[in-house]
Structure 1
Amino acid sequence: MSARTRHKKDPQPACDQGELTSGPARRRILSAGLAGGALLMAGATGCATGGAGGTSAKQLTGSPGAALSGKVVIWSWDVAAKAMQRLGKAFEQAHPGTTVDVVDIGYDNAYDKISVGFGAGSGLPDILTVEGHKLPTYIGNFPNGLVDLTSRAAGLKSQYAEASWRTVTDAKGKVFALPWDSGPCALFYRRDLFQQAGIDPAGLATWDDYLTAGTALKAATGRKLLILDAKQDSFFAMLLQQQGQRWFTDGKVAVATPAAERALTLLKQLVDRDLVDFENGWSGLVSGTHDGKAATTPTAAWWDGTLTSDMADLGGKVGVVPLPAFTPGGPRTSNSGGSTLCVTAQSRNPETAWAFLSFLLADKANQASMMQHEGLFPAYLPALDDPYFQQPAPYYGGQPAMQLFAGLTRAIPTVELTADDSKAGDIVTTAVNQVLHNGADPGTVLRSAARQIATATGRQTVG
């Protein structure tokens, strides 16, 4: 689900919020994740209890082995909703007397509805779909709005990649959701254009290699190296997480760090060398990629759904390699997207809700099934051992592309997520645009952004 079905969004958090595209391209809607957060914050201000009341979050109190019954209502959208509708029938058969009602609320207004429900303390269903990078904001602003699942879920921690698990826990390690899908990142590339330029993609060990190759490729083919969104960049956040960081470190603002400056400097170098094709939103990325305006797409596994569905004519012309590293031997993946399922404190049937969560997300066969049918790349590690991930893929010239992503999932760097991520993300987007479109100095704009975030959040800055 974050396998998102996809929306007309960009490959990462900050994405275009236009109309939903149709067909498999929409898989990204869950997977890619929007970083803006304005809608979420609009409903989150002024209320810290989420209507749950009390001094601590509601917990599961029933017997784990007790018979299940009753109805659970779930809010989701697109392919994520379809996956739960499909597997909900199997859950009902396994547990007679239960009913799973999946309501597709659409993506465009989903977080408006969710935030209003938390703020009002009423109107929410039993289970919510929430993208991983957004969940910490809800946990922070509505600490009693979700059921504390720690007593049942804590033992599952080792079954998920650390980066995914971090999104569902609070600062004290309490568990408020289960990870659903994840967005391990790699570099998709056009085999035909690299061959035309005489470039071996296996040689792209570092981002310096990538820059050098981009210059040679453009000279030989006339094509740019990658597409960036003209308004809502998401590549910077991906590059930052590759270095094990996001907007905050140890609770302090960390957007003016050496890692952040390296990432934004790389973006500026790409622009200065005329290796970037700027397009508007998700539709621009899809059409630009299809038309061959750029030879690579550094993004997450869910891009596979868009490629194979909306760009079937490129079959055999696409390959995948790990992301280049910032330093030789450094991390060669990141994360873009990913989603979770959580039980609201307003649930009338939390035990059955939890049972459905664990049935769906802590089951190897079910997670692998959702990858095969809905393109939701599993966050549940045992599912990655399914034979499906080892299969050669004709679309990628026989390369077992999903096997590469399965291996990268365990290596995704973990980053700190906070209730202030949405505020920080908006400020960072403005800073990045100043560099991309006005030629501003990366270090200068990042220091300014750090000061703005500190003022907006009341946090100190690193250093």
Structure 2
Amino acid sequence: MKRIHKLVLLWISVWMFSLSGCGGEAVPQEQESKAQEIVIWAWDDTFNIKAARMAAAEYQKENEDVQILIETKEREEILAQTQNILSAGLYENLPDIIMIEDYDVQQVLVLYEDEFVDLTDEIDYDKFADFKVKLCSRNGRMYGIPFDSGTAALFYRIDIIKKAGYTEADMQDLTWDEYMEIGRNVYAETGIPMLTLDPTDFPLVRLIMQSNGSWYVKQDGRTVDVQENEALKQSLEIYRELLSCNIGKSVNGWNEFISAFQKGEVATVLSGGWIISSIKENQEQAGLWRVAPIPIVAQNENAAAASNVGGSAWYILKNSRNSQAATEFMVSMFGENDEFTDRLISEIGIVPAVKNPSVFTNYEAEDPFFGNQQVTKLLTGMADEIQTVNYGSKTYEIEDILEEEFQEALIDGNLE
């Protein structure tokens, strides 16, 4: 690609970050005596925010003296504001708990490891999936509480595909070529596009690339792997073909993405399991949705019908006003409380990032919204097949460069 030199510079910057750190003066301990108000920053009202509100309501039944303020902020906003506060040493303005996406966390820990509560001895991390534990750690210490796994799946409207003559069986074990062929026929019969496409955002590229066991960086997490990355090239080629074969609905940003499937303007959604809560927002579509494994890249010998999109964990700021109370709350509700996690499976459709989900009674529950499929069990089975990659610390920075290059490639027809 034309701007490989930018990625080389980015590779150098990753090494620079690994040698840097930030600190500041801690909030005086007397501030801990202030009213026990725990402040949480997270995103997604139907999923993360809803889970935090449920946890707060449950916790306050036995801890009436603790007030919990939950604020909705965008992912980028949380990172920017937290980093600005830490850099300025304005600890009195810190939230107590923030949610960080798995793609971002290593960069944050490289810069601010000393600013987070060390949870190594607070939680039994053996119960969590190994890849999530690795993401939440640095230098052998644990700083995050794993939340959702981000297991990717193909969510589709059975009523729409049936109009084109397809059945549930036809949506199993798909290749991307087969998926696109179904999309063409669905569009021809119904006028409904197969999926949303946003050329300025690359979750689908990430989904396809990880399904082939690859990422933007090599397994060391530092060496940029773009120029000779066959899985990345295949992902971009599939994305370009999806655009050119006229089965995608163009959207710009999160709100348009959500609106499209909630309004029935697309036949499928390819995303992480966390999207279930947004799908279920439109109860008029109950019974019309189904879940299947993602398509595979037939031309890639490493291809698997499993991948990951997003996923996140909770982190506690060590020098916030009420970090101790925040730690007690988070460990109690999200670190040790299997009964509460079981409720989250039922109410927001979470796929817990644990090794043994069978401990949850709702694990095998049938979901009427999805035609009585055992959705959590299906997604957990897919999670077992996800290939582990090292996300490194610069996913979105690399994508900013690639997205610009991709726009040019769409014009001149050259992905090299």
Q: TM-score range by the shorter chain?
A: 0.7 to 0.9
CA contact (8 A) 1:163 1:412 kept: no
Match in the other structure for 1:197? 164
Partner of 1:164: 132
1:193-272 superposed matches below 5 A: 193-199=160-166, 200-249=169-218, 250=220, 251-256=222-227, 257-272=229-244
SS of 1:286's equivalent? helix
Post-superposition Cα deviations, 1:175-212, rounded to whole Å, max 9, x if no partner, equal 22111123211111121232222234344432232233
Work out whether residues 38 and 322 of structure 2, in 8 Å CA contact, stay in contact via their aligned partners in 1: no
Once residues 381 and 188 of structure 2 are traced to their aligned partners in structure 1, the CA distance between those partners, rounded to angstroms, is: 34
One-letter identity of the residue aligned with 2:398: A
Cα pair distance change 1:439/1:396, threshold 3 Å: farther
Show the counterpart of 1:333: 306
Identity of aligned residues (%): 22
Shift of 1:88: 3.5
Normalized against structure 2, the TM-score is what? 0.80
Change (3 A) 1:208 1:50: farther
Change (3 A) 1:173 1:266: farther
Q: Compared with structure 1, are the counterparts of its residues 351 and 110 closer, same or farther at alpha carbon in structure 2 (3 Å cutoff)?
A: closer
Is residue 230–residue 281 contact of structure 1 (8 Å, CA) maintained in 2? Answer: no
Partner of 1:133: 103
* Counterpart in the other structure of 2:290: 319
Q: Which runs of 5+ in 1 are unaligned?
A: 1-40, 54-69, 445-463
Aligned-residue offset at 1:81 = 4.3
Q: 1:83 to 1:401 in 2, by over 3 A?
A: closer
Return closer, same or farther for 1:161/1:411 CA change in 2, 3 Å cut-off.
Answer: farther
Q: What are the superposed Cα offsets for residues 245-302 of structure 1, whole Å, 9 maximum, x if unpaired?
A: 3321122001230111111111122223222221222332234334544322111222
Structure 2 CA distance for partners of 1:84 and 1:270, relative to 1, 3 Å: closer
- Match of 1:461? none
Aligned to 2:52: 84
Residues 1:281 and 1:92: Cα distance change in structure 2 (over 3 Å): closer
The question of whether the paired residues in 2 share the 8 Å contact of 1:247 and 1:421 is answered with yes
Q: 2:369 aligns with which of 371, 380, 395?
A: 395
2:3 matched to which residue of 1?
none
Superposed CA deviations along residues 320-364 of structure 1, whole A, max 9, x for unmatched, are 111112248942222222221122231466554433332222321
- State the match for 2:30 in structure 1: none
User: Aligned residue for 1:183?
Assistant: 150
Q: 1:120 is matched by which residue type in structure 2?
A: A
What is the CA–CA distance in structure 1 between the aligned matches of 2:25 and 2:304, rounded to whole Å? Answer: 41
Structure-2 residue corresponding to 1:145: 115
Report the 3-state secondary structure (helix = DSSP H, G, I; strand = E; otherwise coil) of the residue aligned with 1:178: strand
Task: Quickly say closer, same or farther: Cα 1:388–1:434, change in 2 above 3 A.
Answer: farther
Is the contact made by 1:186 and 1:321 (CA closer than 8 Å) also made in structure 2? yes
Q: How big is the alpha-carbon RMSD for the aligned residues of Structure 1 and Structure 2? A: 3.2
Residue correspondences, number: 380
Write the letter of the residue equivalent to 2:118.
D
Deviation at 1:382, TM superposition (A): 4.2
Q: How big is the shift at 1:384?
A: 5.6
Residue 293 of structure 2 contacts residue 305 of structure 2 at CA under 8 Å; is this kept in 1?
yes
Structure 2 distance, partners of 1:129, 1:288, is 26
Q: CA shift at 1:138, angstroms?
A: 0.9
Q: Which moved more, 1:270-279 or 1:426-435?
A: 426-435
Q: Give the whole-Å Cα distance in 2 for the aligned partners of 1:203 and 1:340.
A: 31
Is the CA contact 2:20–2:110 (under 8 Å) kept in the aligned structure 1?
Answer: no
TM-score using structure 1 length: 0.72
CA distance in 1 between partners of 2:72 and 2:271 (Å): 27
Distance 1:385 1:51, change over 3 A: same
